[in-house]
Amino acid sequence: MEEIVHLGIPFLTPDQWDVITPAYKDFELIRSEGPRFGDMFKCKLKSTKEVVAMKILTIPEDQKSNGIPYSILNHVSILKTLNHPNILKLHTVLRTDLDVEDVFLVFEYIDVSLKKFLATPFPIDVIKLGKPFLRQALSGLAYLHVQKIIHRNLKPNNILLSFQNHEISKLKLTDFGVAKSIEPPLSPYSINMGNPCYKAPELLLGFTNYSTAVDIWSMGCIFAEMIKLQPLFIGNDGPKILTEIFCLLGTPTEENWPGVASLCSFIQAFDPPIKPKDLAAEFPKLEPDGLDLLSRMLCLCPNSRISAVEALEHPYLRP
Amino acid sequence: MTKTFKKDVEGCNNDTEKVRLIAISCLSISVKIRMKHFSVEQFLRDNNLMITPQMIMKMEFNILHEIRWTIRPVTPFTYLNFYYRYFKRFGGYSRRCINEIIVQAQGDHTFVHYPPTMIASTAFLAASRIAYPSKYNNIAHPEALARLGPKAQVLQCAKKILKLCRRMKIRVEIPRIQIPRIQIPESRVGSTSSKVVAVPEKQTEYRRAKAAAVVVDSSEEEEEGTALIRRKRNTGKTSETSQVQVEVKVVDKSDKKGVATEEIEAENRSLAKGEEKAVEVTEASKEEGTALIRRKQDMGKTTGTSQVQVPVKAEEVMVVNKSDKKGVATEEIEAENPSLAKGKEKAVEVTETSADDKARVQAIIRRALEKGKAVVGEEPQTQIGGSVSEILELVAPKKLMMFELRWPMEVPLLEALDIKQALPEVEEEEEQESQTDDKGTDEIKNCGCNIG
């Protein structure tokens, strides 16, 4: 069950070591996502022996003239406002002392991401664990959405799991690097972040005024992926994914998505519209209630898509 | 504070410079959270400040560390949608006005002690008092007030906010179309004050409010109406499609069994050609311009009608397929009713997303998205997509915070900073104002609120 591809000791500058060695030890690189997202490593807090995960955010040279960059302010302040059992907790924030170059985020440590689980030869038994998984993931999401925060980057890598006696003991949503807090004035939102496979159709169509429904879509894709054991929509760019979506769920029409044609006139070119496929045939293993919930999470029209709170009340998830 | 910040105010010579650094750092944190494109460097240069970005960065970190990065405070804005659910029953409220009331209240030190929930709810109360004076009795019903918080505190805060609105001359707008609707009840209330009339009055008022609500949330009520139609349509459609789908499955099976003859394939091809042509025409017309869109739409209609015909024939086709399975020659059937075969073909094309279809869809998407990007880039404010909330949609986002800030801008002299002395004077002034205000509207007293 060890996710760690032993990447060894993280490569850090002397300044960086100076910040963390006084309080932490036993460093081990666990994820390397390139300089932009920062390396992740696990280490031990010297005082309590607690294992924590640490992420380094480096302030780019060209942004230093602006003080702390917006991205870091946004990222850390969102993490700090969140306090929920299904959201990875940020313990502390450290920084290099002399000349601020790096910010260190110290998180609680959870061993494995859903992605690794799906890749193991013995993946999660969805029939048994699908409900507790969705229940926990959606309650984390419902909490986020009540706080008026959109995650915008949900994918199997960003859902951490730990198991006990073949039950999910902990589920944590993580990586709020591109999360967005909804507050007036509502400027157009960026549509460029996140993995296209889990992007909602409104994002792929280029709408900049989307909302929390984009996270529900991603969660629906993830749930479907747990059943299929491969991403529901596969492709490396937006148009390809959009094609896959429309071929599975049908093309949007004015009836099922009011207003779509006025924004994306090309929708009219799908004439006659492509009809949705039968999801029951696509997911034969899933019980009818589960299918219903999945279809509501994968509703093309964001305004009709089920919300996290509603989903938790759905018959499939009711205990 | 002094201990933590001592080493980081090294570049500053005196207390004024230190305070300035701290103040500017606070400002830069908050401004960056609001707007992504704020340049601290530019700001420092424009104001000829002897502060470097490095100093700002360090101070920002210190401030953030001290306040534990909690820079997303709970504000009255957080609760607006919550309270709006109650207030929208009585009429429309412009989000911009409510925002203005709250922002102006933030600039007034006498509101510091009220919790954000109270500021939010009393902002609505004050707005209703100004916009819907005749309904105020209903709105500020004692039971409703009791649910907003400790009664005395709510009333006091409401009073203060109302005075603030009047003092700052905040214009409380009512969403447009409503105005004539409101004038009618006003006259009625003036003539009839008895309770008996008040009951039907309430009903009509409610109806009006409902009608007004359409103007305001523009989505909810309307959606209810269209939802019904949509559902009807959908039920119609699903029955169609389900039939078609069943049909196609049968066709597929028969295909698998190898009954499908070359003839069918041949016809498939010819039909596929027809289909391709149709697509070509639609695409071409799209490219040609708006004038041709109509033609395309007409074409769409014709294809639409042919689709409708499909389910009617579906049963027949099923019979045909049964015979297919039995191995009966297909020639005869096709000869008998070629139109049926066509219907069958159509059904196949509509429901089955073949590889060709996929390519077609992708081609359309790719071409359109490149065009679409430009459109989105030009007009990013269009109201679509995930509705953030009903109330947020009312006004174009840009205008929500468009108002003049009327906070006292001049820096008071140190002697004038003795707030305790200044306070009672203000209170007295307000008292006088309120007395004159309340003469005209006795309703408030009637409903058990002692504002005087």
pLDDT > 80? residue B152: yes
Q: Which residues of A touch B58 (CB under 8 A)?
A: 100
Angle between helices B290-325 and B220-256 (to 10 degrees): 40
Model pLDDT for residues B182-204, shown as the tens digit of each residue? 333 333 333 333 333 333 333 33
Give me the mean pLDDT over the B262-269 stretch.
42
Q: Which residues of A touch B358 (CB under 8 A)?
A: 243, 247
Cα distance between residue B322 and residue A252, in whole Å? 34
Nearest-5° angle of CA B433, CA B438, CA B444? 140
User: Rounded to a whole number, what is the distance in Å from the CA of A256 to chain B's nearest CA?
Assistant: 8
| Least confident residue range of B16-20, B153-157, B376-380 | B376-380
Q: Which domains does chain A have, with CATH numbers?
A: 2-108 (3.30.200.20), 112-317 (1.10.510.10)
Q: Is the ipTM of this complex over 0.85?
A: no
Q: Of A81, A100, A183, which is closest to B58 when you measure between CB atoms?
A: A100
Q: Residue A104 — φ and ψ, nearest 5°?
A: -110, 125
pTM of the model: 0.64
Q: Which residues of B touch A66 (CB under 8 A)?
A: 32, 38-41, 53
User: Rounded to a whole number, what is the distance in Å from the CA of A218 to chain B's nearest CA?
Assistant: 14
pLDDT at A217: 95
Cα distance between residue A188 and residue A147, in whole Å? 19
Contact A73 B380 (CB under 8 A): no
Contacts of B323 (CB under 8 A, 6+ apart): B333
Q: Of B99, B350, B385, which is closest to A210 when you measure between CB atoms?
A: B385
DSSP secondary structure of B96-142: HHHHHHHHHHHT-GGGTTS-HHHHHHHHHHHHHHHH-GGGHHHHT-H
Q: Which residues of B touch A69 (CB under 8 A)?
A: 32
C-beta neighbour count of B433 within 10 angstroms: 14
pLDDT band of A302, cuts 50, 70, 90: very high
Model pLDDT for residues B115-139, shown as the tens digit of each residue? 999 999 999 999 988 888 888 888 8
Q: Which residues of A touch B70 (CB under 8 A)?
A: 77, 80-81
Structure tokens at B264: 């069918």
Count of A-B CB contacts under 8 Å: 199
pLDDT band of B243, cuts 50, 70, 90: very low
Contacts of A62 (CB under 8 A, 6+ apart): none
Q: Of A65, A76, A206, which is closest to B372 when you measure between CB atoms?
A: A206
**From A190, which residue of chain B is nearest by alpha-carbon distance?**
B380
Cα distance between residue B352 and residue B248, in whole Å? 8
Contact B226 A269 (CB under 8 A): no
Q: Are strands A90-95 and A102-108 parallel, antiparallel or unpaired?
A: antiparallel
Give me the mean pLDDT over the B87-110 stretch.
86
